[in-house]
Every structure is written in C-alpha cells, then in structure tokens.
Amino acid sequence: MVKATQLSKTYRLPNESIHALKKADFEASAGEFVIVMGPSGAGKTTLLNLLGGLDAPTEGSAAVNGQTWSKNEKERAKMRQETVGFVFQEFHLLPNLTALENVEMPLFFSRKKNGRIAHELLEAVGLEHRKEHRPPEMSGGEMQRTAIARALANRPKVLLADEPTGNLDVRNSMAVFQLFRKLADSQGLAVVAATHNAKLAALADRVVRLRDGVLNEERSPA
Amino acid sequence: MRFFKLSWKNLFRRKTRTALTLAGVAASAAVLVSLLGFNNGYQNALEEDVDRLGYQMLVTAKGCPYEAATMMLSGSADLRYMNAETAQIIMDDPRVDKSMPQLIHASYDPEREATGIYMGVTNAYRELKPWMEFKEGEWLTPGAADEVVLGYEAAELDQRSPGDYILVHGTNETLKVVGIFERSGSQDDAIAFVRMETLQRIFPRLENKLTGIGVKLKELDATSAFEADLYEIPDIQVVTMARVKQTIMGLVSSARILVMSVAAIALIVAAVGVINTILMSVFERTQEIGIMKAMGASKADIFRLIWSETTLICAGGGFIGCAFALAAAQIVESLVRNALSYAPNGPIISITVGLMAACAAGAVLLGMAAGLYPAARAASMRPIEAIRKGT
C-alpha cells in the first residue's frame, strides 16, 4: 500500500550535507500497522514526510497505492487528499474551529460531500459528545483523537503518524495506539507510526528501527 | 461560501487587530465618501445658486460694466443703453426660452440728497425669478401705471409699507407701493421695481431704451453658439453665467485636486495597512497553512482563503465607512461650510446611494488588490517547510 525504494534525503547546508535518510527500502501493506522507532534526529520524521508526499526525496522514490509521488505540487496535493492521512505530535488542530469543523476541513478541501462522515468519525474515536468544543477546551488525548478523526476524513489508504503520543500520558498513548490497531484491522488501513515508546510497539505488526538515516527491520510481524 | 465562513472565523482569532484594520479601512472609506460627496454636492449647489439668478446670460450695451454700475449709482444720466430694436431681435431668437428686458435708472434728488435705483421690468421678471417672495403685498397689477414694488432694503430705507406712496427721486411723480419683497441677498434688495412703460413715462428720455436683457435659453448646451451669434450685433456685450460659474469652479477645482490627493493617500495607507495585517497573520499561521496543505489543500485553496479574508475585511470597512460618512454628513457639512469663504445655499455634501455603492465596491476591489500578495505568499509555501517553520 505504501512503498519506498532506495529512498534518500540529503539536506545541503552551506558547509555540510546532512544525510537524513540513506537508501531506505520500506513497505507497509493494507491492514498492516508498522512502528518506526529510533532516537531523535534518526530520520523518522523525514521518512514519514517522504512517504506522505510532504517532501520530495533526493534519490529513490516513494509510492502510495501503486502511484509514485509526482514532482508537481498540484498533483501531490490531490494525491495527499485521496490517499494519505497525517497525525502530528502537536495535534495541529485549528484553535478557532470546533472539533467537528476540524474534522470537516479535509472534506472541505477535497470538495467531498460531508453528510455525516465527520459525525461518524468523531463517534468512532469516542468524541461525538465533544463535537462543538474547540481545541482549547479539550484534553491532549481528546485533541489527538480529533486529529486522528480528521486524518481519516477523506478515507485514506495510509495513515502516517509522527510521534502521535509525544504529548500524551501513558493511558492516552495506549488508547491512541489501540485505535491504530483497530483501524488497521477493521478498515484495512496501512498505519505507519513513529514513536520513542517501546511499550507501544507490542501493538504493531512490525517494528523498524532508524539510526542515523539507516533503516533496519527489527522484528517480523508477530 | 464555505471559504468565506472559514475566513470569517479566522478574522475573529485576533479581534483587536481585525478591529483596528477594519477601523483603518472604514476611516479611509469615510474620508473618500465625504470628499466625493463634497465634490458632487458643492458643484451642484453652486450651479443651483447661479441658476437661481434666473437667466444664463445678461446682454447689455457695450462698455465697461463697472463703469456703467458706477455711473448708475452716482445718478449720472449718461448710462449706455441698447435700443429696443436690438433687444427685440434677441428676444425673438427661437433659441430663447424666456427673456427679461430691464431698464435700470438711478435718479438723484438734490433736495433729499439721495439716489433711488429704479428698474423698469415686465411680468417676465416674476417668471424668471419665481422664488422672490413677498414680505408684504403683491406684484404690480396688470395695466396699473403708477405702482411700485420695493426690494427689502429699499423699503427699509424709506420705511414704506404697501399702500404708502413714494416720491420718485428728482421728480414730482408719486407711485403707490403695492408689494415689498423678502430679503434675497442679491442686488434686487435695493431696487424699486416699476413697469417698463411707467419708468419710460416718468423719464421720457429713456423711451425705446433698455439697459439690458436677461436671457434664458431652451437648451443650456447652446450657450456658446448663442453668445457667438450675439457678438455679430454691434454695440452689445454678453456676460454669461456659465463664465461666472467657470471662474468659481476654476477656484474650486484647484482645492479639489488637493482633497482628491488626500483621499488617494488615505486609500494607499489603508491598503498598506491591510497588506501588513494579513501578511503578519499569514506568517503567524505558517504552520497552520502547512497543515492544511498536508490535509490536501491546494495552492488555489490557500490563495482563496487568504484572499477572502482580505476582501472581507475591506468590504466590512467599506460598508462601515460609508455608513459613518452618511451619519456624519451634517457635521462635516457645517465644518466645511465654516471653512469655506464662499458656501452656496444648497447642501454642499451630497452622499447618494450610487456614491456609497461605488465606494463600497471600491473597498472590495481595494481588498482584492491588497490581498493578492499575502495570498500568493501563503499559497506558495511548501508544506514541509511551513510545518517545520512553525515548530
């Protein structure tokens, strides 16, 4: 469902080049939940951004649903709309919009009919009762669950989560990863999540480890 | 529609900043509406004032009009006159709508050591100046030869009322006062009006003579051509009210250029203010724009979103400014009236629905123009860089 081939990213600075990702091969199929682990600066965010088409690789290629990311920003925006959902550590909800409006936002950009999709997604993450609340009135866990509902609004094929539990306590972290597990199982979503937390790795099908831009398979699907 | 809703909500995130920007645009729009309203109103009121003279041109015998006026006032008998035949040619011209022959005579009374100014007129005077109202009495009775209507000041000077008699200066003739005009603020206030035939009977040497003719044309556009034709007739001169207007408007137009420059500067300041505010808000929301792009927003989506915000703020400011200008028109009117050396009688600030609509539309266009750069700037942000910059 999501595939990277010899994916490399080099950031060129005035005096040096930083190789954030070195010839990484990666794949996650439909219904698979893969966790990317590694210390800060190892290249986890770079990998997720490249897989989700937010950034362009220096070498190699990434594809979602069999389609390689185009260099054209307009086509990339369209492909992001149709295939990928993002979840961030900082939630990044719009503070002036209600939970429901935040979930509706991707539908607004894809011009899809909203209907009850946003309501159903909020219900699925257990937040139907908080739909009229704005982010400042919600807890960290609730905000992240709203952000997950938002990421699912356009019915993506792949869910990419960059340190989604970085700002959450243990209980909420576990709830978020259990939700990912459920989404992979019930909806056939390919979920790729980066985390520091080794305890959460047990919920995943596979764990890959990144160190200094090099990707290694650590554990085969359980 | 949804874009406007999202933009609308965004404007409320920084209420004070939005309010101040709105106030800036509103102030500029109010200044613009007031200035354009003044531009319209002043010109109209001025034209109305000149039109109230009743005629568009005054045809007189050739000579310096100032000299003629001085001679009249000093009681000299050597005024220049035009003869009745010349007058008839002018009055019979098919382009003439109404004409008012007038014979002005200043008569000195050595015993009283006073000069009386008499104007011989026809009923055309009433037709051309219907707004001259009577304080007391009424107009000259048709056929009655020995009647006089006094201007406000002429009546005050001699303390006369309708029914009284006056002795014509320098003669033994008496005339019965039948009416006294209200004060008009014009030269007519000092004049005693009698029928043309009466004046010519009392002063036989004025027979067949006229001082001038006030002429009102059927078509205002024909003024220049008619004036040119009149100069074919020897020994007359023409003073057109259009020229009087032109002279006054010439003075006004230099002031107008100044006020329009002020309006233009106000608009530029407002536009720069709006660009600054929206750009600041775009920079503050860099990360948010990145997130929206990650959610599938295209360049065009982001452009529209920011552009709508700018347009909304300018449209809002425009409407508020127009409403404010309309509400404050009376105050501005009195301020301007005090500042002007010559203010016409009519309203000098004329704010019409059309003017307000034009200014509101102008504010929307200003918003659209001002929003181009911030919107393009936001749209061109690369998602990953936008997300990174915000962290």
pLDDT at residue B142, as a whole number? 86
Q: Which segments of chain B does DSSP mark as H helices, in order?
A: 2-11, 15-51, 65-74, 84-91, 124-128, 152-158, 196-202, 223-230, 241-284, 286-294, 299-327, 329-339, 353-379, 383-390
Q: Stretch A42-70: mean pLDDT, rounded?
A: 93
Q: What is the pTM of this model?
A: 0.69
CA distances to A114, A131, A144, B59, B386 from A103, rounded to whole Å, are: 10, 9, 12, 83, 21
Q: How far is B296 from chain A (nearest CA, A)?
A: 4
Inform me whether the pLDDT recorded for A38 exceeds 60.
Answer: yes
Instruction: Compare B151 and B4 and report the one with higher pLDDT.
Output: B151
Q: Which segments of A153-217 does DSSP mark as H helices, in order?
A: 170-187
Which token pair is A214? 């090099």
The chain-wide mean pLDDT, for chain B, equals: 84
- Please answer yes or no on whether B288 and A94 come within 8 Å at the CB atom: yes
Report the residue of B286, B295, B299, B305 to disrupt the A interface, i.e. the one with the largest count of A CBs within 10 Å: B295
pLDDT at residue B111, as a whole number? 84
pLDDT at residue B113, as a whole number? 84
- Please answer yes or no on whether B384 and A54 come within 8 Å at the CB atom: yes
Q: What share of chain A is helix, strand, coil (3-state, %, to 5)?
A: 35, 30, 35
Q: How far is B40 from chain A (nearest CA, A)?
A: 45
- Please answer yes or no on whether B391 and A94 come within 8 Å at the CB atom: no
pLDDT at residue A83, as a whole number? 93
> Sorting pLDDT into bands at 50, 70 and 90, what band is A221?
very low
Percent of chain A with pLDDT over 70: 98
Q: A69 with A79: CB under 8 angstroms?
A: yes
- Strand, coil or helix: A115: coil
Percent of chain B with pLDDT over 70: 90
Q: Which residues of B touch A82 (CB under 8 A)?
A: 296
- Please answer yes or no on whether A52 and B294 come within 8 Å at the CB atom: yes
Q: Which residues of A touch B288 (CB under 8 A)?
A: 92, 94
* C-beta atoms surrounding A91 within 10 Å: 22
The minimal CB distance from A109 to the residues B12, B296, B384 is found for B296
Burial, A15: exposed, middle or buried (Cβ in 10 Å; 0-12, 13-18, 19+)? exposed
Inform me whether the pLDDT recorded for B2 exceeds 80.
Answer: no
The chain-wide mean pLDDT, for chain A, equals: 90
- Please answer yes or no on whether A109 and B387 come within 8 Å at the CB atom: no
Residue at A19: amino acid letter: H
Mean pLDDT comparison of A80-84, A110-114, B256-260, highest-scoring range: A80-84
Q: Does B272 lie at the interface with A, CB-CB under 8 angstroms? A: no
Q: Stretch A83-108: mean pLDDT, rounded?
A: 91
Provide the residue count of chain B.
Answer: 391
pLDDT at residue B78, as a whole number? 56
DSSP secondary structure string, B207-226?
TTEESEEEEEES-GGGHHHH
pLDDT per residue as tens digits for the range B330-344: 888 888 788 776 667
Q: B91 with B55: CB under 8 angstroms?
A: no
The minimal CB distance from B294 to the residues A86, A90, A110 is found for A86
Inform me whether the pLDDT recorded for B49 exceeds 80.
Answer: no
pLDDT at residue B302, as a whole number? 94
> Sorting pLDDT into bands at 50, 70 and 90, what band is B262?
confident
Residue B210: strand pairing partners: B82
- Please answer yes or no on whether A54 and B295 come within 8 Å at the CB atom: no
Spatial distance between the Cα atoms of B357 and B185, rounded to a whole number of angstroms: 38
Inform me whether the pLDDT recorded for A183 exceeds 50.
Answer: yes
The minimal CB distance from A96 to the residues B13, B294, B301 is found for B13
Q: B20 with A126: CB under 8 angstroms?
A: no
